[in-house]
Chain A
Amino acid sequence: DTGVSQNPRHKITKRGQNVTFRCDPISEHNRLYWYRQTLGQGPEFLTYFQNEAQLEKSRLLSDRFSAERPKGSFSTLEIQRTEQGDSAMYLCASRPGTGKGASYEQYFGPGTRLTVT
């Protein structure tokens, strides 16, 4: 039983560059979340997918951020024209949907640590 995986684990980029992160959820999980965690803080919600549909985006997600989940499987989070304030850990989580086997707890990946220089 593989958990949530994220790639890359670490990314260092220069200000102004674009970066893309990937999340592979647990295979039977149709719900996928992205969170951002800055140093000394708890994770903050960014966006939510149910299958391939992006149903909610936080106001934290500026127009430089875009997320996709084609075919309802893996998801990507892209940040364009990165800024130093984007430096953070980006966490992906997944959970099963409603019905038999549904659970409310979210299972997190190891995160991608972004450093913008």
Chain B
Amino acid sequence: AQKVTQAQTEISVVEKEDVTLDCVYETRDTTYYLFWYKQPPSGELVFLIRRNSFDEQNEISGRYSWNFQKSTSSFNFTITASQVVDSAVYFCALSERVVAGGTSYGKLTFGQGTILTVHP
């Protein structure tokens, strides 16, 4: 069975600090996708990034960067120079390829989330 572990339940930082959110996953699939979602207080899950299992290049998008290491089954997320607006719950998720009804689809398995609070 697929599993995603986010060991950090809560992180609290002061604005402008850098913060890294950890994510470790387990899967038997050789092809899979990893995601990060942000859930602000409004409740809606916002897609941040997708990474497939064949692409281990790190990615940077503005203040966000992601470090995918297949050897350690980790997909960590760093926010540089954090801002108060970054305060939210962040979820790491793994897409499992499931075959049903003659077709395949992706079913997301989420970690428990990390609550990030950025203080002014």
Seen from chain A, the residues whose Cβ lies within 8 Å of a Cβ on chain B are 31, 33, 35, 40-45, 48, 50, 53, 55-56, 89, 91, 93, 95, 103-111, 113
CB–CB B50/A55 < 8 A: no
CB–CB A55/B100 < 8 A: yes
CB–CB A111/B44 < 8 A: yes
A44, B96: Cα distance in complex, Å:
13
A113, B44: Cα distance in complex, Å:
11
Across the interface, B43 reaches (CB within 8 A) one of A56, A103, A111, namely A111
A71, B103: Cα distance in complex, Å:
19
Total contacts A to B, CB within 8 angstroms?
69
Taken residue by residue from 34 to 47, chain B's Cβ proximity to chain A (1 for < 8 Å, 0 otherwise) reads as 01010000111111
B110, CB-defined interface residue at 8 Å:
yes
Considering the complex, which residues of chain B in the window 58-107 have a beta carbon less than 8 Å from any beta carbon of chain A? 91, 93, 95, 98, 100-101, 103, 105-107
- CB neighbours (8 Å) of B42 from chain A are 110
A53, B102: Cα distance in complex, Å:
12
Q: Report the contact-size class of chain B (Cβ under 8 Å from the partner).
A: 20 to 34
- CB neighbours (8 Å) of A95 from chain B are 106
A30, B33: Cα distance in complex, Å:
20
CB–CB A44/B98 < 8 A: no
CB–CB B47/A48 < 8 A: no
- CB neighbours (8 Å) of A111 from chain B are 43-44
Given contact pairs A42-B93, A53-B101, A89-B43, A104 touches B112 in the complex (Cβ within 8 A): no
A48, B106: Cα distance in complex, Å:
9
A93, B106: Cα distance in complex, Å:
12
